[in-house]
Amino acid sequence: MRWLVLASLLYSLFRAWRGWKGKHRFTQTDNATRHWTATIAHIQLFLGIWLYSISPIIAYFFESFKTAVHNRDVRFFGMEHSIMMVLAVVLITIGSMKAKQKKEDEQKFKTMFVWFGIALLVILSSIPWSFSPLVSRPLWRGF
Ligand code: HEM
């Protein structure tokens, strides 16, 4: 699901940029892309909130707050990651709603590009990348 969030955002940005700069018509496919990108982000939001409620890392974060808050790995999921990702989904939701409300096609593309673009930057900055020297997790989890 987390990879789908990134893929849908990248695809949205590609269509929005192409439509904006190429002065294209905002088609039903563009609208579906906008809609599904926001929906996928919302599913990830609920998965994240669910993870937050069952994660032993988060349980430890609240049980032993005074010490846990100084543990970078624990604080990352307890605060930074979760807050920034919720913010990103809020940005996607606002951007999607604003793009829907705009009358002109150029404005729809531009609005989508700007809001989704900022959200993507927030998400990219808050992922525990496998290559991150700070907090890292594997890129892929096997079943
Ligand atoms: C919106 C995009 C999001 C992306 C791309 C994302 C990505 C990730 C990744 C890559 C991990 C590491 C998983 C692993 O160990 O393999 C993770 C863990 C986690 N995420 Fe997110 N996340 C997102 C949103 C959220 C939100 C909104 C919340 C909570 C409000 C959240 C809470 C957590 C928690 C608590 C963990 C750690 C779970 C554990 O290992 O016990 N995430 N996330």
Is there an atom of ligand 1 within 6 Å of 57 CB?
A: yes
Nearest CA to ligand 1 atom 5: 2
Residue 141 lies in a domain: no
Tell me the pLDDT tens digit for each residue of 68-85: 999 999 999 999 999 999
Put residue 27 in one of left, alpha, beta given phi > 0 → left and psi -120 to 50 → alpha.
Answer: beta
Identify the helix (H) or strand (E) that includes residue 51: helix 28-54
Residue 91 lies in a domain: yes
- Report, as ranges of residue numbers, the positions in the chain whose pLDDT lies below 70: 143
Residue 22 per-residue DSSP state: T
The pLDDT of residue 68: 97
Look at the pTM and tell me if it is higher than 0.75: yes
Sign (positive or negative) of CA dihedral 51, 2, 112, 25:
negative
Residue 131 lies in a domain: no
To test ligand 1's pocket by mutation, which of 1, 50, 81 has the most ligand atoms within 8 angstroms of CB? 81
Residue 79 per-residue DSSP state: I
Whole domain around residue 117: which residue ranges? 2-21+28-125
In ligand 1, which atom is closest to the CA atom of 45? 27
**Total count of domains within the chain:** 1
Please list, in sequence order, all residues whose beta carbon lies within 8 angstroms of the beta carbon of residue 70, skipping any fewer than 6 positions away.
Answer: none
Burial class of residue 50 in the structure, from the number of CB atoms within 10 Å of its CB (0-12 exposed, 13-18 middle, 19+ buried):
exposed
